Structure 1
Amino acid sequence: MASVVGFLREYRVVTATLLVGLLGGILELAGPPDAARWTISVFALVVAALQARGMIADLRAGSYGIDLLAVTAIVSTVLVGEYWAALVVCLMLSGGEALEDYAAGRARRELSALLERAPQIGHRFLPDGTVVDVPVTELVVGEEVLVKPHELVPVDGVLLSEDATFDESSLTGESLPVDRRRGDDLLSGSVNGGEAVRVRVTAAAADSQYQRIVELVREAQDSKAPFVRLADRVAVPFTVVAFLIAGLAWFLSGEATRFAEVLVVATPCPLIIAAPVAFMAGMSRSARNGVIVKGGGTLEQLSRVRTVAFDKTGTLTYGTPHVARVDVADGLGPDEILSLAAAVEQYSSHPLAAAIVAAARERRLTVPAATDVEEVTAHGVRARVDGRAVVVGKASFVADEVSGVRDVPLEPGQTGVHVGVAGRYAGVVALADEIRAETSETLAGLHRAGVRTTMMLTGDAEPTARHIAAGIGIDDVRAGLLPEHKVDAVRAVTARPVMMVGDGVNDAPVLAVADVGVAMGAKGSTAASESADVVIMLDDLYRTVRAVQIGRRTMRVAWQAIGIGLGFSLVLMLVAAAGLLPAIVGAWMQEVVDLTCILWALLASRPGREERAEQNRVEALRAERVRTAGAPVGRTELARQ
């Protein structure tokens, strides 16, 4: 009951129209002659005057709508005595606003949910161990906070508790809970599991991940798609056609009533509501899939993308080194060499050292402790492990300590870390930047979605770039590029629109000049996210395919909704012109058309047949890889829509 009262208060014209209709019905049954007609007619003309005033304001602002048809329909029906039809048109206009708000609210609910769930309170630990609640804006870097069960992590931080489970679906679109261990980074806005945890703050609220998403969402909600403005302009020729049909009907029949009957069904809702609702639904579904689209116009561009360019490091690859293989030179096995190398490297801060230690742990190898550790910066590390002298590093560094070091051929893009044990050369650990597991699927999916050309724009050497491109199916490779060269390359592309995907600070300029800039925002730079039109919050390159698919689906649904509305309205106008559709019936039929178009526009919030087929294809590929390789496809799960 309260919701009904609130609705009537918010939409006062709807309330007034209903009350006038009730009063008119009473007067029609028990009132003086013509009382109902005059009451309803005066009210309808007042509504028409208000609508005309709004129409003039819109015209001055440069927006072309179809208010002229609505105003003319009300006035003409009043003049020919079809006052009840005039009242229905008034209800359609006033109720259309309420219907639009409801449909748009439903379409943007994922976006709105992100804003509504923004963390407000943090539980700060005091020096004596007690906890006090403070506004999240007062939390500072370095202090510790308590996150209670099922609460939002208030700011970005590092987990201090042993382990915990978090729901990051509202941030990344990943539907499954993720497990975190002590020392892992936590994103603000993720939901803690069933146990309280301690977290050290690493970023203020304004700089935290969730606040970045909130700002992106607000920017997205405030945008207006060029397609919507195009729909406004489509109204102009439609208005001309409607007046032409109405005028001919009046001229040929000699009945002014025909003019009114035609215009009653010539006020299609799609041109006012359907396109914006479809765009809000598309943007909302993007957010649900971990893809923040900053503006409705970007969805239109995504639907027409013909070229996609990628940065290499951190985009097509994970951006971190991994152990590709271990070549053996002495009697030791690969696992023993890796274990000994990890034992020494665990005391080094070098990125390659971290990769070797991580590889040993992933293979569940024993990593013994080392003694007498000595690191020579930029050269290597020497130590004793289980009584044996072990040296790890560059070939020249290892050659000074042991005999038998040889030059091992490596593939383009690989780096060799040499290992010597007990005075003899043991072998080399080859490291490389790992190609994302989903990269090949992403490129194939983009081609199936209508993309003609894929490009790699990288600052790496050409042999490395071409070696990687050959393995993943890139169409065009540009290597050895500086940031300004990437900008020139994107500007020179002829098959447009062009979408650029990157993640680093050096990608910000090229993201800004591309027709659609896409930032891998999960681990990328703030500069890249701010320059981009689309930010992918999950560390999953395949989301670029989702973004293109959602853009295509949104545009298709929007045009379909407009086509349905215009088609039905045209048919109803011709029927009314023939004198077969009374004004009151036509007014109610138009309401049915409006509702149909809005419901159709909401289909943009769901994947289409092509998207479902593509997702099934990807899931089948992943399952096949698991069966044949006996290991997960990659580091990132491709969550279903």
Structure 2
Amino acid sequence: MAVLKALRRQPVIPLALLTLVAVLALSAAGQGLIARWIATIVVGGFVLGTLIQMIREMLRGRFGLDVLAIVAMVATLAVGEYVASLIIVLMLAGGEALEDFAARRAKRELTALLERSPQTAHVVTTEGEGDGELVRDVPVDEVVIGDLLLIRPSEIVPVDCELLTEEVSFDESSLTGESLPVTRTAGETVLSGAVNGTHIARARAVRRSADSQYQQILALVRQAQDSRAPVVRLADRFAIPFTAVSLLLGGIAWALSGEAVRFAEVLVLATPCPLLIAAPVAFLGGLSRSAKDGIVLKGGAVIETLSRVRSAAFDKTGTLTRGRPALVDVRPAAGFTAAEVLGLAASAEQYSSHALAAGIRAAARDRGLAPETAEDASEVATNGVMARIGGRTVVVGKPAYIASLVPEFARTDLVAGQAAAYVAIDGRHAGALVLADAPRPESPGVVAWLRDHGVGQIVMLTGDTAATADPIAEQVGIAEVHAELLPDDKVRLARDLRPRPLMMVGDGVNDAPVLAASDVGIAMGAKGATAAGEAADAVILVDSLAKVAHAVEIGRHTVRVALTAIWIGIGLSVALMIVAMTGVIPAVVGALAQELVDLATILYALRALRGPLTPERDFAAQAPEKAAAEGRPAIRG
């Protein structure tokens, strides 16, 4: 079945095969003239089609390699080597078929995302005024924010949603490349495209389908598939010198031997399949490789630019840092323990929407402190939360708010970049919880890796104050910091940065202008930063800065493979042409040998699908050692 599909896509192959069999049979039967006319008509038709395509390309300003194929076919017909001319037709058509196969193989990771797009959602509604529930299947586009969803085992999450079930395991490999199941707990966001594990899950929709993570990824994938790789144009630029060398070698062979057939024997080995096929196959492999690693690159031009990056600029919050404050210290007041203060504060913060609340809850969970249910709870907007827990009154909030409630309040000392949530228990000052948006553990390693791999200029562009930005920059190893910037300030600074090309990495809506203005913009899109993702050239689907280094690695590896494949094709073709000048390679044998050259270049180009990537754990593990070696403060976990 697959063979039939391939033949339907390349009808020239069966036509050329049937013609070749007929020509050989007629020649064996002594009907050489008829055989020659049949071959001439079939090859002539193929030459005419190729010539029309070549003229169209020239009218677009592109001189391609098709002229060599045309000259080779005409030359072999002219000297009576019509069997060789049919083999050239087969070779060119077969090369296109091999390219089609290789392209489909290389795009497998990309198309897998498109094929798995969720189509329906199970929406739960109450039935009448009783306790019964009704589950309706609706098209995923009709899900609205706030809908209660039922996700059955092994089903795809239809839209981005907030998990209501206490604990559920999801397969997020199609989104992040993480092969192991990921456990999500109640209150966490589950992205569309994740696959539910073995238990039924309930969740509440937080985005419509068009705005959800999976649909954003699909849009990026379609963009990536439709792009044309720049190294294909680089291969075209080889056309004129390669054509000139080939014609020169063929002409010299003809002149020295005095036989026109020698010209044809050389030219059959100059057909351009290796150059035409190698580059696009390698670039499609690079796109597929990056998608599998959780990075969507919007086309081959991005791959080439990434391979040449010489400067890098980073946003701070959400890029070099996690973008969510984490607990760094618990400072209990006299008469209270750290566990007591954190546990009760986390229980009260269940009922708060403040930015610091999530970090407090996560810290308690990591320390095994289970949250208690409040008998009563209320939030005082912008000030704090008050809850009655286990018969005790717990208040968590701003210093001024806590000071107004307790007589003996005391502020705690903070350094730049830190914030504190103060706690009162039963009318007494209980202490403070210190939080900070600390650098990602992998950030110093990524910055050091870029610097060690030819990215000489690395800067931070942030809207935060210098007092907040400088300590983070020092910890991750960035010496040049531009703080308190507006979006247009970032664009101006990025435009002036040298050397080029410049890579900008950011995550927020305010980063969209500078991402679009940079030579290559990379958006940290794991949290659904839609505006940044649309403006960027690449989107990282995993919440890890290590993928930035991976993107550069993939770009360099892909371009290296593409160029090597091109030179392999050129080298083998020229070597065989030189041998053919002596007359030891008949035209038919030469045409068959060129097919092996095609196969060699395609197989090498497929190496872009593989290749070593620095393990993510290495970026985090080497960060303290690298910082110490450079005399910078090391991050301590």
Same fold (TM over 0.5): yes
For 1:369 and 1:127, the matched residues in 2 are separated by 26
Contact 2:443/2:619 (8 A) holds in 1: no
1:428-443 matches, within 5 Å, as 428-443=432-447
Aligned twin of 1:474: 478
Quick check: 78-87 or 185-194, which moved more? 185-194
For 1:617 and 1:265, the matched residues in 2 are separated by 47
Aligned twin of 1:218: 222
Contact 1:262/1:573 (8 A) holds in 2: yes
Aligned twin of 1:359: 363
Deviation of 1:12 after TM superposition, in Å, equals: 1.2
Quick check: 194-203 or 493-502, which moved more? 194-203
Aligned twin of 1:638: none
For 1:531 and 1:257, the matched residues in 2 are separated by 57
Residues 192-230 of structure 1, C-alpha deviation per residue, up to 9 Å, x if partnerless? 222333443333322222111111111111111222112
Counterpart residue type for residue 256 of structure 1: A
Deviation of 1:366 after TM superposition, in Å, equals: 5.7
Aligned twin of 1:87: 86
Aligned twin of 2:108: 109
Contact 1:449/1:549 (8 A) holds in 2: no
Aligned twin of 1:417: 421
- Secondary structure of 1:351's partner? coil
Q: Using a 3 Å threshold, how does the CA distance of structure 1 residues 384 and 145 change in structure 2: closer, same or farther?
A: closer
Pair 1:536-2:546 in alignment = no
Residues 377-411 of structure 1, C-alpha deviation per residue, up to 9 Å, x if partnerless? 43445666666665543334434444554443311
Pair 1:285-2:289 in alignment = yes
Contact 1:269/1:597 (8 A) holds in 2: no
Aligned twin of 1:48: 47
Aligned twin of 1:182: 186
Aligned twin of 1:630: none
- Secondary structure of 1:435's partner? coil
The partner residue of 1:235 within 236, 239, 245 is 239
Aligned twin of 1:148: 152
For 1:85 and 1:135, the matched residues in 2 are separated by 57
Deviation of 1:455 after TM superposition, in Å, equals: 1.6
- Secondary structure of 2:322's partner? strand
Aligned twin of 1:63: 62
1:466-545 matches, within 5 Å, as 466-545=470-549
For 1:450 and 1:488, the matched residues in 2 are separated by 24
The partner residue of 2:257 within 250, 253, 258 is 253
Contact 1:281/1:602 (8 A) holds in 2: yes
Residues 539-571 of structure 1, C-alpha deviation per residue, up to 9 Å, x if partnerless? 111111110000000000000000100111111
Quick check: 454-463 or 373-382, which moved more? 373-382
Deviation of 1:328 after TM superposition, in Å, equals: 4.0
Counterpart residue type for residue 96 of structure 1: G
Number of residue pairs the alignment of both structures matches:
623
For 2:147 and 2:426, the matched residues in 1 are separated by 47
The partner residue of 1:320 within 321, 324, 332 is 324
Quick check: 328-337 or 593-602, which moved more? 328-337
Counterpart residue type for residue 546 of structure 1: H
Deviation of 1:428 after TM superposition, in Å, equals: 2.6
Residues 558-611 of structure 1, C-alpha deviation per residue, up to 9 Å, x if partnerless? 000001001111111111122232211111111110110011000000014xx3
For 1:122 and 1:581, the matched residues in 2 are separated by 65
1:372-391 matches, within 5 Å, as 376-381=380-385, 391=395
Counterpart residue type for residue 333 of structure 1: T
Residues 305-329 of structure 1, C-alpha deviation per residue, up to 9 Å, x if partnerless? 1111111111111111121112344
Counterpart residue type for residue 312 of structure 2: V
Residues 232-257 of structure 1, C-alpha deviation per residue, up to 9 Å, x if partnerless? 12212211121122112212222111
For 1:451 and 1:301, the matched residues in 2 are separated by 13
Aligned twin of 2:130: none
Counterpart residue type for residue 363 of structure 2: A
Deviation of 1:164 after TM superposition, in Å, equals: 2.4
Counterpart residue type for residue 463 of structure 2: G
Alignment RMSD: 2.7
Counterpart residue type for residue 46 of structure 2: V
- Secondary structure of 1:35's partner? helix
Contact 2:68/2:272 (8 A) holds in 1: no
Quick check: 298-307 or 440-449, which moved more? 440-449
The runs of 5 or more residues in structure 2 that have no matched partner are 128-132, 626-634
Deviation of 1:446 after TM superposition, in Å, equals: 2.3
Aligned twin of 1:639: none
Contact 1:264/1:586 (8 A) holds in 2: yes
Deviation of 1:272 after TM superposition, in Å, equals: 0.8
- Secondary structure of 2:438's partner? strand
Quick check: 122-131 or 425-434, which moved more? 122-131
Q: Using a 3 Å threshold, how does the CA distance of structure 1 residues 601 and 134 change in structure 2: closer, same or farther?
A: same
For 2:378 and 2:33, the matched residues in 1 are separated by 104
Deviation of 1:622 after TM superposition, in Å, equals: 10
- Secondary structure of 1:584's partner? helix
Contact 2:192/2:212 (8 A) holds in 1: yes
Aligned twin of 2:469: 465
Aligned twin of 2:630: none
- Secondary structure of 1:34's partner? helix
Aligned twin of 2:631: none
Q: Using a 3 Å threshold, how does the CA distance of structure 1 residues 350 and 616 change in structure 2: closer, same or farther?
A: closer
Contact 1:449/1:545 (8 A) holds in 2: no
Deviation of 1:21 after TM superposition, in Å, equals: 0.8
For 1:216 and 1:371, the matched residues in 2 are separated by 47
The partner residue of 1:427 within 426, 431, 434 is 431
For 1:116 and 1:497, the matched residues in 2 are separated by 35
Counterpart residue type for residue 56 of structure 1: I
Pair 1:555-2:554 in alignment = no
Deviation of 1:634 after TM superposition, in Å, equals: 12
Q: Using a 3 Å threshold, how does the CA distance of structure 1 residues 147 and 634 change in structure 2: closer, same or farther?
A: farther
For 2:377 and 2:126, the matched residues in 1 are separated by 37
Aligned twin of 1:580: 584
Pair 1:75-2:79 in alignment = no
For 2:126 and 2:399, the matched residues in 1 are separated by 51
For 1:461 and 1:53, the matched residues in 2 are separated by 62
- Secondary structure of 1:419's partner? strand
1:332-347 matches, within 5 Å, as 332-347=336-351
Aligned twin of 2:628: none
- Secondary structure of 1:166's partner? strand
The runs of 5 or more residues in structure 1 that have no matched partner are 625-632, 636-641
- Secondary structure of 1:327's partner? strand
Quick check: 285-294 or 574-583, which moved more? 574-583
Task: State TM-score, norm by structure 1.
Answer: 0.91
Quick check: 260-269 or 377-386, which moved more? 377-386
Q: Using a 3 Å threshold, how does the CA distance of structure 1 residues 527 and 64 change in structure 2: closer, same or farther?
A: same
Deviation of 1:54 after TM superposition, in Å, equals: 1.4
Q: Using a 3 Å threshold, how does the CA distance of structure 1 residues 210 and 264 change in structure 2: closer, same or farther?
A: same
Deviation of 1:483 after TM superposition, in Å, equals: 1.1
Task: State TM-score, norm by structure 2.
Answer: 0.91
Quick check: 318-327 or 93-102, which moved more? 318-327
- Secondary structure of 1:212's partner? helix
Q: Using a 3 Å threshold, how does the CA distance of structure 1 residues 373 and 606 change in structure 2: closer, same or farther?
A: closer
Q: Percent identity?
A: 52
Q: Using a 3 Å threshold, how does the CA distance of structure 1 residues 425 and 159 change in structure 2: closer, same or farther?
A: closer
For 1:347 and 1:157, the matched residues in 2 are separated by 19
Deviation of 1:509 after TM superposition, in Å, equals: 0.4
Residues 501-553 of structure 1, C-alpha deviation per residue, up to 9 Å, x if partnerless? 11111010010001111111111421101000001111111111110000000
Contact 2:342/2:364 (8 A) holds in 1: yes
For 1:619 and 1:322, the matched residues in 2 are separated by 18
Q: Using a 3 Å threshold, how does the CA distance of structure 1 residues 374 and 190 change in structure 2: closer, same or farther?
A: closer
Pair 1:172-2:176 in alignment = yes
The partner residue of 1:307 within 282, 299, 311 is 311
Contact 1:491/1:513 (8 A) holds in 2: yes
For 1:77 and 1:223, the matched residues in 2 are separated by 37
Counterpart residue type for residue 556 of structure 2: R
